[in-house]
Each structure stands twice: as structure tokens, then as C-alpha cells.
Amino acid sequence: MSAQTDIQNQDAKQHAEVTRAERTRDARTYVPDVDIVEQGDGLLLVADMPGVRADHVDIQYEQGMLTIQGRVPARQTDIGPDQYLLREYGVGDFYRSFRVGEGVDIDKIKAELKNGVMTLHLPKAEALKPRKISVKTT
């Protein structure tokens, strides 16, 4: 293994440790499947977050980093673990983080949650939108 490969592996490991979510609840944490589409006026992000209610979603955008968290409450809390005959359904929270850059107009970000699918609209800042420049004849 070369020194360069070793450094790259160490950098990747350190990056993974830094970006990993810290768990504050004793529950599973899932990485939601996400589609991101660049549109003319911004980005559209669609994330699968089944079982999450709108009041349990936390979206943060700071210094180009977008973080999405969704909390799913435990099901059937009145049943003890020794009462289950079969228990396959896993309940857990959702966490995903993206570096999307500084070009988002944070005052115009909009999020919707419907049927376990979150849609997030991230409009581009006016300074980054393409402009048409008119040419005058003289």
C-alpha cells in the first residue's frame, strides 16, 4: 500500500467519523432514500421517511450543510418485549446530511410531508441564478 493510499484511507475514516450522526435516543437510525434533482431555479429533494409526522421533522441548513432528521415514535409501547410471538417490524429515526453549498436562498426553503414522503424545495440565491444580458445596438 502506498503512502498516498494510506493517507486517503485515513482521511476517509476521519471524514466518516466526523459526519456520522450522534445517537441521543436508544433507537435505530435509518438513512432515508433520497432523490435530488437540479431544476432551473433550485434543487428539489425527495426523501422517503415512512412513519414520520410533520411535527417530528427537523431540517437544518447552515453554512452549506443540509441536515434532515425525522423521529418515529415507538409502536405499541404497552406491550412488553416478552409478550411478542413474532417481532419483525423495526421502528427507528431517520437521519441524512448533504453538502449543497452556499448558493441556497435560506429564506425561501419550503418542505412538505405527505404519505411518508418529504419534498424539500431549495431555491437558488438570486446572485447564482443565470441572468439574460440584453445587447444594445449603437
Bridge partners, residue 95, by sequence: 69
What's the pLDDT tens digit per position in 38-85? 888 899 999 999 999 999 999 999 888 999 999 988 777 777 777 878
Task: Identify the H or E element spanning 33.
Answer: none
Question: Which overall architecture, per CATH, does domain 29-77+89-127 show?
Answer: Sandwich (2.60)
pTM: 0.68
Residue 25, C-beta contacts closer than 8 angstroms, at least 6 positions apart: 71, 93
- Cell digits of residue 65: 450543510
Domain ranges of the chain: 29-77+89-127
Residue type, 16: A
What are the start-end ranges of the H helices in 1-138?
3-19
Is the model more confident about 62 or about 4?
Answer: 62
Band of residue 120 on the pLDDT scale cut at 50, 70, 90: very high
